[in-house]
Amino acid sequence: MQQGETVFIVDDDTSIGEGLKNLLESVGIKAEYFDSAEAFQKNWDRSRAGCLLLDARLPGMSGVELQEELNAARIGIPVIFMTAHGDVPMVRKVLKAGAVEFLTKPFGMEELLSAINVAFDYDRLFRANAAIEQSIHARVNLLTDREREVLAMVTAGLLNKQIAARLNLSEITVKLHRRHVMDKMQAASLADLVKMCERIKLESWKAAESAE
C-alpha cells in the first residue's frame, strides 16, 4: 500500500466506523472516520488522495446524495458503498453513477481490501490524468492571444500560408508564432500538440468562419 492514500469512512454507526478504521489500520492503511456526510464534506479537501467508504443510508444527507454532489462538482474520488440491506434499484443507481463496489454488511475482510485496492488504483489513475491536464492548462495559459489563434488554426490543419492569409500576417511571422507555441507547449511534434489540445478539450479553429 502506498503511503499518503487514506480511506475516508462515513457511517452513522460509530462502532462500525471505528471497527473499520481499526481493521484498516491493522493492515497498514490510513483511515479517517466521519459520522455523517456533512462532516466529511466539511473536513475533507479534494487534494487528499484515497477513496471513500460510504454507508448508503445516513441520517441527514444520505450516501447516495453525497455521491451525486461529488459527481456534480466533478470530484473524482472513488466511492465504495456499504449497506445492511441494499435494494436492487439503489445498487444499480450508485454503480451507474460510478461507484467502485457495493458491499453488504457484514462483509469479509478480503472483499473490503480488494475493493479498496481497486479504488486506490482508480484514484491514482484519476489523479495522474488530472495532473497532466493541469500542466497542459498551465502551458496554454503562457500563450499570448495571437499565439492561441495560431494554435487553434494549426491544430485545425491549416497551412502556414493559409494562416497568414487569415490573420493578415506574413508567412514568416506565422512561422515565428508557431515556433513559440511549440516551445511553450513543450510539444515535440504537431501530433503531440494535437493530442494535448484534445486532452484538455481545447477548441480548435472552426472552419465555419472560412466559408469563402
Partner 1 sequence: MTAVELKRFPEGVYDYVMKPIAIASCFVIVALLWTFPLQHVIAYPFVFLFFGAIMGSAWFGGFMAGIMSVIMSGLLVTYFFIPPLFSMSVAKDSQSFLAAFLVCAIAISIVGSARRRSEGAVRLARDQLEEMVRERTAELEASNREIRESERQLRILTEAIPQQIWRADASGHIEYCNQHLRTYIGQRGGEELGDSFYGVLHPEDEALYRQGFEKAMRTGEGFEVETRVRGADGDYRWFLARAIPQHTEDGNIARWYGVHIDIEEQRRMQQNLKDAQENLARLSRILSMAEMAASIAHELNQPLTAVVTHAYACREWLNSTPVNIERASTTAEKIVQESTRASAVVKRVRALFRKDKEAPVREPADLNQLIRELARLLREDAIRHGVSIRLDLAGDLALVDIDPVQIQQVLLNLATNAMEAMMAKDGQRELTIHSQNQNGREVLVSVADTGCGVPADLVEKVFDPFFTTKSQGTGMGLALCRTIIEEHDGRLWFSNSPQGGAVFQFTLKSGDDH
- Binding stretches for partner 1 (CB under 8 A): 13, 15-16, 18-20, 22-23, 25-27, 84-85, 105-109
From CA 177, how far away is CA 148, in angstroms rounded? 9
* Closer to partner 1 by Cβ: residue 14 or 134: 14
Q: How far is the CB of 105 from partner 1 (least distance, A)?
A: 4
DSSP for 58-72, please give it.
-SSS-HHHHHHHHHH
* Closer to partner 1 by Cβ: residue 1 or 207: 1
Is the separation of the CB atoms in 116 and 78 below 8 Å? no
* Closer to partner 1 by Cβ: residue 18 or 149: 18
From CA 158, how far away is CA 48, in angstroms rounded? 43
Q: In what order do the strands lie in the sheet with 6-10?
A: 30-34, 6-10, 50-55, 79-83, 101-104
From CA 9, how far away is CA 40, in angstroms rounded? 9
* Closer to partner 1 by Cβ: residue 95 or 109: 109
Q: How far is the CB of 13 from partner 1 (least distance, A)?
A: 5
